[in-house]
Structure 1
Amino acid sequence: MTAAVHYEDRPANPGWLKRAEAWLDERGRPAWIVAMVLGFIFFWPIGLGLLAYMIWSKRMFGKSCRHRPDRHAYRHGFNAMRPSGNAAFDAYKLDTLRRLEDEQKSFEDFLQRLREARDKAEFDQFMDDRARNARDVKEDEKEDA
């Protein structure tokens, strides 16, 4: 693995900020967090600036840093949709992926029905409580009269 793989989409002579950003991206979110904490320790505006940048660039709450998933896939040579050259295996893989997608859709549909049933039960409970409260108020008014 060469460094050119990691830097191929970067300009030939990036500034020190771009190089620092690339260096932190290669190490992932923990490196960004350490840099932010050190910024707060040494000079709080730097830490605050890093925090704002991490939130603005979605590094704080995203799944990972920008360049990390591509490098990870390249490094391990994993690409599920790439044909293997074995027709029988490729057909099996395609069938398995379709089956998994169908199962995922069925499960998501089940979860949706479950949410709807829970919502309906909560709404029915609310309506029953409301009717009971209205009935209690009417009975109280009759007793007072």
Structure 2
Amino acid sequence: MTYTDTTSSLTAHPGWLRRAEAWLDSKGKGAWIAAMVLGFIFFWPVGLALLFYMIWSKRMFGCSKRKHANHFKSGFSAMRPSGNSAFDSYKEETLRRLEDEQQQFEEFLKRLRDARDKAEFDQFMEDRATKAKTVETEDA
């Protein structure tokens, strides 16, 4: 995976909450208020959560859309080129190595889960066989 592939995949799928936040920000304060009212109508904890979020993030009291849009984009500033080719190649190699390590770690965790599942299944089958032998000896 190249640097541009990583950048485009991160910005293309930042998560449904961030996408919803960005969409509501693009529509303005009215969209936030409408979402909050609908949240109260359909399931009041959602409306309450949106109200608290709007107050906490200062969306309720006239914060500009531009400020939040820049804040959203700043989360991906590590993926932009710095202008220093040596540093950029080092950063790209480090990110590639970290991605490989993450993939290896996820594979390791999968093997651990598979081994645990097999051990639990083997224990279940052993217990089942023991119970079956106990029932046969009691019947005889």
Distance 1:141 1:8, change over 3 A: closer
Which of 102, 105, 110 in structure 1 is aligned with 2:103?
A: 105
Distance 1:137 1:50, change over 3 A: closer
Which structure shows the bigger proportion of residues in helix conformation? 2
* Identity %, equivalent residues: 48
Larger radius of gyration: 1
SS in structure 2 opposite 1:83?
coil
RMSD, aligned CA: 3.8
Query: What's the counterpart of residue 73 of structure 1?
Result: 72
For normalisation by structure 2, the TM-score amounts to 0.56
One-letter amino acid of the structure 2 residue matched with residue 51 of structure 1 = F
One-letter amino acid of the structure 2 residue matched with residue 102 of structure 1 = D
Gaps of 5+ in 1: 1-5, 23-31, 37-45, 60-64
Query: What's the counterpart of residue 41 of structure 2?
Result: 49
Q: Larger relative CO (CA 8 A, sep 6+): 1 or 2? A: 2
**Hey, what's the Cα distance between the residues in 1 that align with 2:123 and 2:135?**
18
Gaps of 5+ in 2: 1-22, 51-56, 58-64
Query: What's the counterpart of residue 89 of structure 1?
Result: 87
Query: What's the counterpart of residue 117 of structure 2?
Result: 119
Between stretches 98-107 and 77-86, larger displacement belongs to: 77-86
Deviation at 1:141, TM superposition (A): 1.1
